[in-house]
Structure 1
Amino acid sequence: MSVRFFRILAVVLLGITAASCQKEPSASGLNNDNLVYTAYDEGTDFASFDTYFLPDSILLIGSADKAEYWKDADAQQIIATVADNLDACNYMRVTDKAEAQLGLQLSYVRRVTYYVGYNYPYWWGYYPYYWGPGYWGDWLGWYYPYPVYYGYQTGSLLIEMVNLDGSTEAGNKQLPIVWSCFLGGLLTSDDELNLQRTLDAIDQAFIQSPYLAQ
């Protein structure tokens, strides 16, 4: 697993091990800095993928009783920035999920904290309207091929890349998450600044993930 951080104030605030449990560091003292965390499956050959599907909305994770999706101009800028970075890595965006080898999921934690655990990776099970495996096709579930246990707090943007070709193991109908990205410390009192910080953090996530480039 590869873990790097973006412009953190001279302190390593987050450590990931198979057995440890960590939360997102407090952003109270990081008014001018973002936290960008990325992790990937070292056993994945990213050069073997050519196409990806990226939905036109971002899931809002909060306390709503039904699914809410972020689709306004700001959301489209965020989605476009992800697409631009993937295109720069020589992947091709397709409009048909059935033709894609990779699927990208974007979600924004608006109000509450959620956790991902290595022993119980289905954190989205706590939020019933998260992108389900059925969204991508005839899949039964998900898994992280790498150890991870960490928390997401209010104001976090999550990006997860799933291998839509599935597992090579016979009979395995789970979709592996081969790359994940967590962006924290995005919120200020200025909405325009928040958006720019988010776009910059997305760019940084790809900068620190050179293995994605073809």
Structure 2
Amino acid sequence: MKKQTKLLSLIAFALILLIGACYPISQEFVSDFDSVYTEKSEPDFDFANPAIRTFYLADTVMVLTDPNVSDTNLEVDFDQILARVRTNMNQAGYTEISNINQATQADYLVLVSVNRADNYFNTWWGGWGGWGGWGGWGWGGCCFFPPVVTTSNIRTGSIIVELLDGKRLAQRNQNIPEVWYGVGSGLFQGNNTNLNNRTLRAIDQMFIQSPYLKR
């Protein structure tokens, strides 16, 4: 159910971007369409518990993009992404456990993933025209040119940060509950520097709008 909720959030972001592209609006830059959403996955989880002080950050950014649908080259720096998540966790007052053999001792397991989607839509122009008659010929109307259909693609990207209850890592054959996640979404346009900077700002914003994570 939680994964379904997250998927719906991503779809909602994509729809907002698609709808926004159809109307004349005031946005002038690609970054104007960026959005960040955060949610407590487990409302009953005690984020204020002073005993929660450590985290383990997975050293790999998971790529969720289907290679059969979109190119998996996301053109963002994974090392910078992990470094920014680590910085925000440290600034929030947590101590990192970097040894994977001690990961089960961490209070939070931090997972980071990225996704890119191609959103295709069709537009058409032309079609039927008509006139009331000309030169006594009494034309009732005709197609003055055939309709032209064009296919466009709005490419969107998302960065997802998840906090899992690390204390349940030792419980084998059980799902590790996710207690919090943040999603940054926007138009996947621009050069590498622009994409990286916007991704890093989205990570910062996740923690800014989740003050309950601070120690």
Question: Which residue is 1:23 aligned to?
Answer: 12
Query: Helix, strand or coil: the match of 1:36?
Result: strand
Unaligned runs of 5+ in 1: 1-15, 114-152
**SS at 2:31 equivalent:** coil
Q: Which has the higher helix share?
A: 2
> Is 2:97 the partner of 1:94?
yes
CA contact (8 A) 1:63 1:112 kept: no
Q: Does the 8 Å CA contact 2:76/2:196 hold for their aligned counterparts?
A: no
Q: Does 1:49 align with 2:52?
A: yes
Identity in percent: 30
User: Comparing both structures, which one devotes a greater share of its residues to strand?
Assistant: 2
In the TM superposition, residue 197 of structure 1 has moved relative to its aligned partner by 0.6
Gaps of 5+ in 2: 21-26, 120-154
Further displaced range: 192-201 or 182-191:
182-191
Shift of 1:103: 0.6
Comparing 91-100 and 198-207, the one that deviates more: 91-100
SS of match in other structure, 1:201:
helix
Q: Is the 8 A contact 2:64 2:115 kept in 1?
A: yes
Which residue is 2:152 aligned to? none
The normalised TM-score by structure 1 is 0.60
Root-mean-square deviation (CA), in Å?
A: 3.4
Q: 1:21 to 1:38 in 2, by over 3 A?
A: closer
Q: For residue 84 of structure 1, report the CA deviation from its aligned partner.
A: 0.6
**What is the CA-CA distance between 1:90 and the residue it aligns to?**
0.9
Residue identity opposite 2:37 in structure 1: Y
* C-alpha spacing 1:91/1:171, structure 2 compared with 1 (3 Å): same
Deviations 1:47-96 (A, max 9, x none): 3311111122211112238xxx99x9821111111111111111111123
Match of 2:83 in 1: 80
Residues 103 and 112 of structure 1: is their aligned pair in 2 closer, same or farther, counting only changes over 3 Å? Answer: farther
Larger radius of gyration: 2
Report if the CA contact (8 A) 1:158-1:181 is conserved: yes
- What is the rounded CA distance, in whole Å, between the counterparts of 1:37 and 1:102 in structure 2? 20
